[in-house]
Amino acid sequence: MSEWAGDALSRAVREGYRAGREDETLEPLVLVDERGNPIGRLKSGDAVIFYNIRGEREIELTRSLTEPGFSEFPVHPDLALHFATMIRYREDLRVEVAFPPDAVVADTLSETIARHGLKQIKITEAEKAVHVGFFLNGKRDEPFDGETRRIVATRKDVALFDKAPEMSIAAVADAVLDAIRDDTYTFIFANFPNVDVVGHIENEAAILQAIEAVDRNLGRVVEAATRAGLTMVVSADHGTVEKWLYPDGTIDTGHTDSPVPFLLLDPDGPAPLRPSGELTDIAPTVLERMGLPVPAAMTGRSLLAGPRSGQKPARRLLLLVLDGWGHAASGPGNLIARAQTPNMDRLWQTVPHALLAAAGEAVGLPEGTVGNSEAGHLHIGAGRRIYADRVKIDRAIADGSFFSNPAFLGAVRAARDAGTELHLMGIVSFFSSHGSLRHLFALMDLARREGVQNVFIHAMLGRRGEKPESGANYIREIETKCLADGLGRVASVIGRYWSMDREENWNRIEKTYRMLVYGEGTSVAERG
């Protein structure tokens, strides 16, 4: 180790920045020895721990590395890995799971509606399909009886959506209008994803276009719902671009800790609301307005301030989530306030509204943590707080049980006892909703304790809510720990665009696979 400078890949990432490359779309960088041979590629008999914690963007890569008969692209014919994941990404994956999920959340909004024999439909585009299905339904994949899902295809002709900030919102809105016209649907849930998706890209003009596209289509939906006599709720799952600048003026492309709006459009006239609450209050509010009993498991409180004499239950109700639409004071960093949003502005002035907490403990995340779409939709549907996997993992590290977890020990000891290699792969960040360097560092400590000889780290970058050059800084932190511990090397780096796809863009996953297994990518010399 004394001959190894240890900072080869962090230097390579910084050089990429100077050449105009960004973390999210960074092409593979591979550590090589003095002969140009890749270091730390996956081989049969090795052990892998995928430490990401969201569970949807990890499925495709995990499948390619573990699934017998995988056929989406050519794979190694005999790659037998001891594979463990931090949480369960999908039930049918052949992996060991360190932190299995709690039981599926029962008595959700959708389940309650289904239990009363009512038809419902969930509408969004593919980018957010998992949120309106799996997460909104309490981490249940299968639709309930009477539940339809209308998923509009996400465009494939652009790499990033700053080239098409409208995305497929017109088609999503059209599907919502179709559902409004179909009076067999008692409950309609829709998600407009643009503000969240485009808001993660450092392109102010595109974000403003995305916001304005959402507002235009909001207007279309409100007009149709009003004409059809539907009760309508407009809300959001978390904030994004209402705090687009850090205090020092640099751009923040991540989520925020802002509250989100809640607006109630009622054909029976304005219904008074409590002025504030949290996302867990949406489900009991919807159920009360529909005249359905609120399950005892829902600890959220209805936002309705009190009953109105003679009010009848809503015959039909539409809940529209403007993904990423947070609320904050006007200022240079509030792109929502700067955009032209006549429809939302009119609603805010004319209909009852409230502000809902959508971050931190209100959505089961550690105090001070920004919100995200997974936690947001889960809590909208559950009507109670569901504590996140991150909380469980952090507690396990604190109390030491993390280091005796059977899934981790199985992988680590398999590599140690067979004299093979241990590979740790995942997002590189302290703040990402997909995972934390704290978890990686704990795994590195475990490997050292257990006497593993060869540890390789495969880093995935994606600057969302991070300052420029954060990726290189994090890689350097890992390299520094490797040198201090005398164990481990960063073997590869790749942008999350390639490694964490969830839309079956298999060409992206193949690029990541070939980096991991064959060492394909831009070679970075181990020594300076």
Indicate the SS3 state at residue 408. Answer: helix
Whole-angstrom distance, CA of residue 134 vs CA of residue 150:
14
Query: Is the confidence at residue 109, as pLDDT, over 70?
Result: yes
| Helices marked H in 295-405 | 335-338, 342-350, 373-382, 389-399
Whether the pLDDT of residue 117 is over 60: the answer is: yes
Instruction: Report yes or no on 3 lying in a domain.
Output: no
60: domain CATH number? 3.40.1450
- Residue partners of 484: CB distance under 8 A and separation at least 6: none
Same domain, 74 and 146: no
2 pLDDT tier (thresholds 50, 70, 90): very low
Share of the chain above pLDDT 90, in %: 83
Rounded CA separation 344/327 (Å): 12
Instruction: Collapse the DSSP code of 448 into the 3-class scheme (helix H, G, I; strand E, B; otherwise coil) and give the result.
Output: helix
HEC string of 104-150 equals CCCCCHHHHHHHCCCEEEEEEEHHHHHHHHHHCCCCCCCCCCCEEEE
Residues 27 and 159 in one domain: no
Average pLDDT over residues 230-249: 95
What pLDDT shows up at residue 5?
54
Per cent of the chain over pLDDT 70 is: 97
pLDDT at position 507 is: 96
Pair (377, 282) in one structural domain: yes
85 and 124 together in one domain: no
For residue 4, pLDDT over 50 is answered with no
- At 85, is the pLDDT very low, low, confident or very high (cuts 50, 70, 90)? very high
Domain containing 202 equals 109-385
* Structural tokens at position 67: 């699934």
**How high is the pLDDT of residue 54?**
84
Average pLDDT estimate for 248-276: 93
User: pLDDT digits over 463-500, tens only?
Assistant: 766 666 788 999 999 999 999 999 999 999 999 999 99
In this prediction, residue 3 carries a pLDDT of 41
Q: Which among 341, 365, 385 is the end of a domain?
A: 385
According to DSSP, residue 25 is labeled T
Q: DSSP state, 75?
A: -
Residue 441 or residue 387, greater confidence: 441
Task: Tell me, yes or no, whether 44 and 125 share the same domain.
Answer: no
Q: Is the pLDDT of residue 110 over 90?
A: yes
Q: pLDDT-derived band of residue 6, with 50, 70 and 90 as boundaries?
A: confident
- Residue 45 predicted with pLDDT over 80: yes
Question: Are 144 and 106 spatial neighbours (Cβ–Cβ below 8 Å)?
Answer: no
At 48, is the pLDDT very low, low, confident or very high (cuts 50, 70, 90)?
A: very high
- Do 340 and 462 fall within a single domain? no
Which two three-digit tokens encode residue 98? 């360190």
Distance, in Å, from the CA atom of 357 to the CA atom of 258, rounded to the nearest integer, reads 7
| DSSP collapsed to 3 states, 196-214 | HHHHCCCCHHHHHHHHHHH
Is there a domain that residue 354 lies in?
yes
pLDDT at 1: 34
pLDDT tens sequence across 138-173: 999 999 999 999 999 998 888 788 899 999 999 999
| Cα–Cα–Cα angle for 244, 249, 253, rounded to 5 degrees | 30
Q: Across the strands, what pairs with 151?
A: 124
> Do 367 and 415 belong to one domain?
no
Query: 84 lies in a domain?
Result: yes
Instruction: Tell me the CATH number at 341.
Output: 3.40.720.10
If asked whether residues 55 and 146 sit together in one domain, one would say no
Under DSSP, the state recorded for 279 is: G
Q: Give me the numbers of helices (H) and strands (E) for the chain, helices first please.
A: 17, 16
Report residue 189 as tokens.
């849930």
Domain boundary among 385, 407, 423: 385
The domain tally of the chain equals: 2
The residues near 378 (Cβ < 8 Å, ≥ 6 apart) are: 105, 135, 136, 138, 139, 363, 364, 386
Q: Do 207 and 270 have their domain in common? A: yes
Q: pLDDT at residue 273 above 80?
A: yes
CB 188 within 8 A of CB 317: yes
Q: How far is CA 321 from CA 9, 145, 332, 444, in A?
A: 41, 23, 25, 40
Q: Which residue has the higher pLDDT, 104 or 85?
A: 85
Concatenate the DSSP letters of all residues of 27-68 into one string. PPEEEE-TTSPBSS---TT-EEEE---SSSTTHHHHHHHH-T
Does residue 189 lie in a domain region?
Answer: yes
What's the pLDDT at 309? 63
Same domain for 79 and 128, yes or no, is no
Q: Could you tell me if residue 118 is inside a domain?
A: yes
Which of residues 385, 420, 454 is at a domain's end?
A: 385
* Residue 353 shares a structural domain with residue 422: no
The more confident residue out of 434 and 76 is: 76
Residue 1 inside a domain? The answer is no
Domain membership of residue 2 (yes or no) is no
User: In this structure, are 76 and 216 located in the same domain?
Assistant: no
Neighbours of 142 (CB within 10 A): 10
For residue 71, give Cα distances in angstroms to 27, 46, 65, 66, 506. 24, 22, 11, 12, 10
